[in-house]
């Protein structure tokens, strides 16, 4: 559908919503009224710019007609008016393209953050701990809550795996580009020759899934309970409080053992399982979407090496956007804003590039 046709459709829906919001039968239904009011508010931003844009197109048409006037002063005034209106038209087109970028429905959601040690043994596990602290400090600065859902320690105090829930305002919109392989280059504390080692940690950022979005049939679950264990495998509980959930249809396995209550561990495991099942659903949907559409939201490929943390040089490089900063200590202390803002701007630019064809030079719709 042509862009202008989409805009006309949005305006028609906006007018329809205005009528619905004044309908007593809708006003009396709180949930329906709230839903329509939210849609009306969202469309209002687009419709306001579109109506202004339509007015500019109309004035451009009128000014162009004056170019054929026999009066030289009128023609000169028309040329100046066309120049001004053309600038306004281009600015409004740019604004409309931004407004028409499909909003990620998960942006406002909480986040399930999964960090796993990759190649590099104990050094990778220690860096997994560094990344967890980095995200925890970033979350703290934004007044989010971080809740550990599951953790598997190593003898050195690092993490084989840590899964945490970040709860806060638009958490997913800030962290969604962190998924991928994070590479670290540094001299391990155990290295006697001073050689730099390269290790890797994978990060997965999943939007929290509500029960209504992912329904888990209890009959599809195999539930095992056992005693919790801490670093080195020692028992930290005398009761069978740890829970292992196996989702039989997909083979997904989730283990939670950090709570003393079996009930709480099972509830946490279900949260993790729902998020992973929701992630599978999203990936299947994305595969059905055209490649150019996928590029608008990033590939999300967790095998992709996205960032390198070079300790000897104090350098951090994001390979997707070619951004290099010499502020490694600040970033690991949770100062991620510059990187995250640059990534958001890059992917928004990608989305605009893949927006529909440019709007026409002159009016092609009824400007009444």
pLDDT tens-digit series, residues 201-229 = 999 999 988 766 788 888 888 888 887 66
Place of tokens 């105090």: 157
- Residue 257, pLDDT score: 83
End-to-end CA distance of the chain: 22
**Strand arrangement of the beta sheet that strand 221-226 belongs to:** 221-226, 242-247, 252-256
The band of 367, judged by pLDDT with boundaries at 50, 70 and 90, is: very low
Range of the domain at 85: 3-104
* Choice between 49 and 104, residue whose per-residue pLDDT is larger: 49
- Residue 301, pLDDT score: 47
Query: For position 246, which CATH number holds?
Result: 3.30.160.20
Q: Please tell me the distance from the alpha carbon of residue 228 to that of residue 69, in angstroms, as a whole number.
A: 88
Residue 153 lies in a domain: no
Confidence check: pLDDT of 121 > 60: yes
Q: Please tell me the distance from the alpha carbon of residue 93 to that of residue 84, in angstroms, as a whole number.
A: 14
Residue 351 lies in a domain: no
Q: Please tell me the distance from the alpha carbon of residue 50 to that of residue 55, in angstroms, as a whole number.
A: 9
- Residue 2, pLDDT score: 62
Residue 195 lies in a domain: no
- Residue 364, pLDDT score: 38
- Residue 361, pLDDT score: 46
Query: For position 24, which CATH number holds?
Result: 1.20.58
Confidence check: pLDDT of 249 > 80: yes
Three-state SS letters, 304-327: CEEEEEECCCCEEEECCCCEEECC
Residue 59 lies in a domain: yes
When pLDDT is averaged across residues 85-111 and rounded to a whole number, the result is 86
Q: Which of 266, 290, 314 is the last residue of a domain?
A: 290
Q: Which of 104, 138, 154 is the last residue of a domain?
A: 104
Confidence check: pLDDT of 325 > 80: yes
Residue 46, Cβ neighbours under 10 Å: how many?
18
**3-class SS shares of the chain: helix, strand, coil, % to 5:** 50, 20, 30
- Residue 317, pLDDT score: 97
Residue 280 lies in a domain: yes
pLDDT > 70: what percent of the chain?
85
Confidence check: pLDDT of 7 > 60: yes
Confidence check: pLDDT of 232 > 60: no
Confidence check: pLDDT of 99 > 90: no
The band of 71, judged by pLDDT with boundaries at 50, 70 and 90, is: confident
- Residue 303, pLDDT score: 57
- Residue 350, pLDDT score: 78
Q: Please tell me the distance from the alpha carbon of residue 134 to that of residue 309, in angstroms, as a whole number.
A: 12
When pLDDT is averaged across residues 222-247 and rounded to a whole number, the result is 70
Least confident range of 90-99, 124-133, 139-148, 329-338: 90-99
Pair 205, 107: CB distance under 8 Å: no
The pLDDT tens digits for 167-187 are 999 899 999 999 999 999 999
Per the structure block, which two tokens stand in for 111?
């986040």
When pLDDT is averaged across residues 301-319 and rounded to a whole number, the result is 87
- Residue 230, pLDDT score: 56
Give 253's strand partners: 246
Confidence check: pLDDT of 127 > 60: yes
Least confident range of 61-70, 199-208, 275-284: 275-284
Number of domains in the chain: 2
Residue 76 lies in a domain: yes
Residue 139 lies in a domain: no
Those residues with Cβ within 8 angstroms of residue 290's Cβ, 6 or more apart along the chain or in another chain = none
The pLDDT tens digits for 21-39 are 999 999 999 889 988 998 8
- Residue 111, pLDDT score: 93
Q: Which of 63, 78, 104 is the last residue of a domain?
A: 104
- Residue 345, pLDDT score: 86
Alpha-carbon torsion 318, 319, 320, 324, what sign? positive
Residue 278 lies in a domain: yes
């Amino acid at each position: 559908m042509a862009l202008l046709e989409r805009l006309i459709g949005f305006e028609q829906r906006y007018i329809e919503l205005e009528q619905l919001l004044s309908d007593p039968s809708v006003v009396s239904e709180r949930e329906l009224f709230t839903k329509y009011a939210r849609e009306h508010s969202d469309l209002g931003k687009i419709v306001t710019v579109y109506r202004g844009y339509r007015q500019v197109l109309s004035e451009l048409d009128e000014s162009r007609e004056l170019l054929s006037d026999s009066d030289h002063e009128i023609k000169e005034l028309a040329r100046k008016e066309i120049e001004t209106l053309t600038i306004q038209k281009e600015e409004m087109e740019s604004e409309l393209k931004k407004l028409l970028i499909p909003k990620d429905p998960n942006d406002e959601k909480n986040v399930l953050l999964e960090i796993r040690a990759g190649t590099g043994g104990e050094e990778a596990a220690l860096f997994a701990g560094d990344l967890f602290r980095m995200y925890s400090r970033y979350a703290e600065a934004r007044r989010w809550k971080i809740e550990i859902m599951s953790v598997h320690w190593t003898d050195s105090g690092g993490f084989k795996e840590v899964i945490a829930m970040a709860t806060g305002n638009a958490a997913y919109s800030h962290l969604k580009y962190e998924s991928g392989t994070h590479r670290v280059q540094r001299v391990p504390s155990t290295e006697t020759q001073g050689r730099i080692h390269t290790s890797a940690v994978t990060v997965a950022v999943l939007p929290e899934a509500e029960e209504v979005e992912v329904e888990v049939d209890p009959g599809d679950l195999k539930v095992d309970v056992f005693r919790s264990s801490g670093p080195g495998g020692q028992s930290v509980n005398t009761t069978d409080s740890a829970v292992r959930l196996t989702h039989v249809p997909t083979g997904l396995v989730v283990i939670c053992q950090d709570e003393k209550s079996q009930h709480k561990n099972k509830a946490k495991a279900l949260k993790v399982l729902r998020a992973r099942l929701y992630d599978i659903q999203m990936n299947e949907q994305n595969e059905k979407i055209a490649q150019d559409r996928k590029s608008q939201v990033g590939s999300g490929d967790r095998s992709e090496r996205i960032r390198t943390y070079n300790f000897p040089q104090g350098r951090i490089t994001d390979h997707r956007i070619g951004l290099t900063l010499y502020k490694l200590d600040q970033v690991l202390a949770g100062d991620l804003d510059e990187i995250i803002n640059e990534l958001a701007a890059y992917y928004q630019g990608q989305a605009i590039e893949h927006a529909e064809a440019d709007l026409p030079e002159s009016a092609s719709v009824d400007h009444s």
